[in-house]
Amino acid sequence: MENILNKAGFICDMDGVIYHGNKILDGVAEFVNWMLENNKKFVFLTNSPEKTPHELSMKLERMGLCVSPDHFYTSAMATAEFLHAQAPGCTAYVIGEAALSKALYDHKIYMNDVNPEYVVIGETRTYSFEKIEKAIALVNKGAKLIGTNPDTIGPTERGIMPATGALVAPIEIATGKKAYFVGKPNPLMLRHGLRLLDCHSKDIAFIGDRMDTDIIAGIESNVDTVLVLSGVTAKEDIDKFPYRPKYVLNGVGDIVKR
């Protein structure tokens, strides 16, 4: 445990680690305040593409935490950076919230529902059969299918809800084309986090609540992993995987309790 406290920085998942929906989790305020007071470098890395860094900052402020927008990095931002690196000036048909469209616009990737190079899917509450039909038609015409993250479910204050992977699945099935997912466990996300912190992998710990995305991403990026049991993965689930986190805690508050 002492090893975690001595880390220079932390990359921390949000959903299931910091909050469930609009409910902050126990011990989070103490952990965040400890990082701020001890000048720890940290970034919140979230597979959710639904909010901008400013919106996430404001969300935490409503929960009583003051964290500036530069401490957040989302799968929408990672997706935009990936597409910009792959095909600068490309166009996309997007099924997702405004934050995803904004991230793409910021990288000069514009909307196109006629002949886009990409179909991009992220979490959204406006998913419809009409949009699925459009996405299928465009992928069948040659557009490449991109998912902001592969999560099929995510924790909320109302319980487990479908996430991007579940929304992409009908399009994959209907077209026979597999999506490329940018978010965790793709190491791209963690590498972006390390770049933002300007830290070597040995100097940070990665905290997440999912064995299948967070912990495997940390292991494959050669960083120490911390699984918290406040989200999707239960303690009895750990043995179902052929890899293990370095630490298992009830929540992030346990880091500063000891």
Where in the sequence numbering do the catalytic residues fall? 13, 15
Q: Which residue has tokens 């997007």?
A: 94
**Closest by Cα among 184, 176, 174, 111 to 147:** 184
Tokens of 199: 């830290």
Peptide bond into 116 cis (omega under 30): no
72 backbone dihedrals φ, ψ, rounded to 5°? -120, 140
- The amino acid occupying position 37 is E
Q: How many beta carbons lie within 10 A of that of residue 203, not counting itself?
A: 16
What CA–CA distances, in Å, run from 117 to 75, 114, 140, 189, 223? 19, 10, 12, 22, 35
